[in-house]
Structure 1
């Protein structure tokens, strides 16, 4: 495979470029050896932004993807009963960071999905322990899925809809830390923003109310522990749901009253976009004659 030489804004000389290239390939090669793997995982995860072509190199290098999956699978026995240590969590999260790099890259994203690699992360999302090693593991795993949905690729959404990602995210939205809740809500939001995702969630009352009940519970939780960034994603989810006629009718009876309370939403005073979304949501849900929500996406 022909790999472009990595440069540093045009400031490196030819010798530096060659050294960067050689260092990258050496680190990838070090992943294949048990005695050098942990250090290579750490170094590559820390410097992955410096290597624009890291994702295709990782994917097309012989045995590298299998090695990263081995790092993931070997953690499974530590999940139940919960025995995950900080060291083991950090190591597997470094491997997950490299997979996130692969999931984000245009050349490797489709290959990543066709190999069904996100499914290897679902046991991590299914954990409930609130200890720091488990929380870090869940958050990093969510980051991989978040990197996928951030690309606004319908193929990604179609793949995720065939899996259990929505129930997994909903549970984290209910029980996770603020940051994990935020990332999980972002994933659900991006699924909803896709037409296929909105249609899927609104196809049955069971699916709709599973999402709506969790969103409502989160709003209630924000009464005690406010979070502007989390509230922003919650409102965006509600607004997108309101674009479906049946969901809009249901929201007229189940939209949290707090969203209509200026004292509760005062935290959004400096966030003009979210205030507009909230105003549009309240108008759409509160107006029985509204047939089509005009939403600025």
Structure 2
């Protein structure tokens, strides 16, 4: 195995990296090894590959994930120490997930099914929030790869209802990441078709978006608004969604409430809102023409 490219050129430092990876197999030495690797993850170009191909490394990280399950299912409050430990393990998993080859392998071997339960924790404590954000970070990294197989996998999980819940009730950062996850999922044709297929599914999504928009009028967050507008626009690309969107779309989206110049975090707000409204207006005009063309009953 070739040595990774690192800022430090001394052979001893490279040997240390291999030593820490080997120590992931041992429960007694795992925490220290995870902390050392996590701290240096941006300086080790091949860290994801090294972890994936090293004997026992992935298994050791998986044991850390599974160890937190009792806290999830028995509703035991996470301590800061537990949260820090598992977030470190998830951070190393993200190093693997960000690699295009390994990301798809994580999906194919069902690795993500071990991370998804962590999103079911409903507590809003700081310890749980750090875990939640870490898992969402892995999912965002996977979705950035633009691989349709990854989107299809997540559509078969509880990701959409879980992210919709956090989009409505989560912290600001959770909302930002969940909005991004939803948009990236719908960006793919398979995701749009999935969201548009059943009435109950569409209603859940569009009602949640409407409630989030009302929240944004009270507590503005341009980064969330940006993705919400793009989700609406993407949903409007499917003709079966247009009637519901027009019926349930909050007035603030149509009356220019959010059209501010230079909105930090969503500088293109005016343009994107105008594009969305043009899509919806075309459909309204089309419906009007169809109604006018209908023969009157005598």
Task: Name the stretch that deviates more: 254-263 or 71-80.
Answer: 254-263
1:32 matched residue in structure 2: 25
| 1:45-100 Cα distance to aligned partner (Å, 9 max, x none) | 22211111111111111111111110011111112323210000110010001111
Tell me by how many angstroms 1:266 deviates: 2.3
Work out whether residues 259 and 269 of structure 2, in 8 Å CA contact, stay in contact via their aligned partners in 1: no
1:194 matched residue in structure 2: 188
Specify whether residues 21 and 125 from structure 1 end up closer, same or farther in structure 2 by C-alpha distance, changes over 3 A only. Answer: same
Query: Matched residue of 1:172: which SS?
Result: helix
Task: Name the stretch that deviates more: 259-268 or 125-134.
Answer: 259-268
Task: Tell me how far apart the structure 2 counterparts of residues 169 and 267 of structure 1 sit (CA, whole Å).
Answer: 29
1:5 matched residue in structure 2: 4
| 1:212-240 Cα distance to aligned partner (Å, 9 max, x none) | 11111111111111101110011111111
Task: Tell me how far apart the structure 2 counterparts of residues 36 and 120 of structure 1 sit (CA, whole Å).
Answer: 23
Counterparts of 1:220-259 in structure 2, within 5 Å, are 220-259=214-253
Task: Name the stretch that deviates more: 155-164 or 26-35.
Answer: 26-35
Specify whether residues 155 and 235 from structure 1 end up closer, same or farther in structure 2 by C-alpha distance, changes over 3 A only. Answer: same
2:268 matched residue in structure 1: 273
Tell me by how many angstroms 1:17 deviates: 5.2
Counterparts of 1:145-184 in structure 2, within 5 Å, are 145-184=139-178
Query: Matched residue of 2:137: which SS?
Result: helix
Task: Tell me how far apart the structure 1 counterparts of residues 285 and 158 of structure 2 sit (CA, whole Å).
Answer: 36
Task: Tell me how far apart the structure 2 counterparts of residues 268 and 117 of structure 1 sit (CA, whole Å).
Answer: 42
Specify whether residues 267 and 30 from structure 1 end up closer, same or farther in structure 2 by C-alpha distance, changes over 3 A only. Answer: farther
Tell me by how many angstroms 1:39 deviates: 1.4
Query: Matched residue of 2:246: which SS?
Result: helix
2:70 matched residue in structure 1: 77
Query: Matched residue of 1:146: which SS?
Result: helix
Work out whether residues 7 and 17 of structure 1, in 8 Å CA contact, stay in contact via their aligned partners in 2: no
Ranges in structure 2 where 5+ consecutive residues have no aligned partner? 288-298
Ranges in structure 1 where 5+ consecutive residues have no aligned partner? 292-297
Tell me by how many angstroms 1:7 deviates: 3.6
| 1:260-289 Cα distance to aligned partner (Å, 9 max, x none) | 233444276464433322111011112224
Tell me by how many angstroms 1:108 deviates: 0.8
2:294 matched residue in structure 1: none
Kindly report structure 1 stretches of 4+ aligned residues shifted beyond 6 Å.
Answer: none
Task: Tell me how far apart the structure 2 counterparts of residues 59 and 163 of structure 1 sit (CA, whole Å).
Answer: 24
Work out whether residues 149 and 187 of structure 1, in 8 Å CA contact, stay in contact via their aligned partners in 2: yes
Specify whether residues 263 and 252 from structure 1 end up closer, same or farther in structure 2 by C-alpha distance, changes over 3 A only. Answer: closer
Task: Name the stretch that deviates more: 87-96 or 42-51.
Answer: 42-51
Tell me by how many angstroms 1:197 deviates: 0.3
* TM-score, length-scaled by structure 1: 0.90
